[in-house]
Amino acid sequence: MFRWLLLFILIVPALEIGVLIWTGNWIGPIWVILLIILTGVLGAWLAKKQGLETIRNFQQSVQYGQMPQDTLLDGACILVGGAVLLTPGFITDAIGFLLLIPATRLPIKRFLRSAIQKAMQKGTITIYRK
C-alpha cells in the first residue's frame, strides 16, 4: 500500500506540472491561472452544496433509524473531492469534480462498496456492530 501511495505522490505532481506547462503554452499563462482560480471557486461552492445536502441526508437517515451507509460513502467522496480540488492542477480538478458530482459519484461509490465488501470477506477490514 505504501508503495502505491509513494508512486501516487511522485507521479501525480509531475503529470500536473506537465499538463500546466502544456496548457500554458497552448492558451497562455493568464488563462491557466484564471482557470485554476475558477475551478477552485466552483469546486468549493459545489463541495459546500453537496456537503450540506449529505449532512441533511445523514440526519434524516438517523432520524428514521436507518443505517446511513450510502451517506457515509457520499461524505467520504465529497471530502476527498473537495480536498483534491484545493490542489492546483487539471488532473486533480477532474478527479475532484468526478467525486463531487452526484451522477459521476455513483459508480465510484459502487466500486468503493464492492472493495470494502471484498476486504471484509478477506478479513483485512473488520467492522464491529453493536
Q: For residue range 24-42, what is the model confidence (pLDDT) as tens digits?
A: 999 999 999 999 999 989 9
Please state whether 88 falls in left (phi above 0), alpha (psi between -120 and 50) or beta: beta
1 found inside a domain: no
CA–CA separation, 42 and 49 (whole Å): 11
Number of domains in the chain: 1
20 found inside a domain: no
Domain of 110 in residue numbering reads as: 28-120
19 found inside a domain: no
Note the pLDDT tens digit of each residue in 3-32.
878 878 888 889 999 999 999 999 999 999
107 found inside a domain: yes
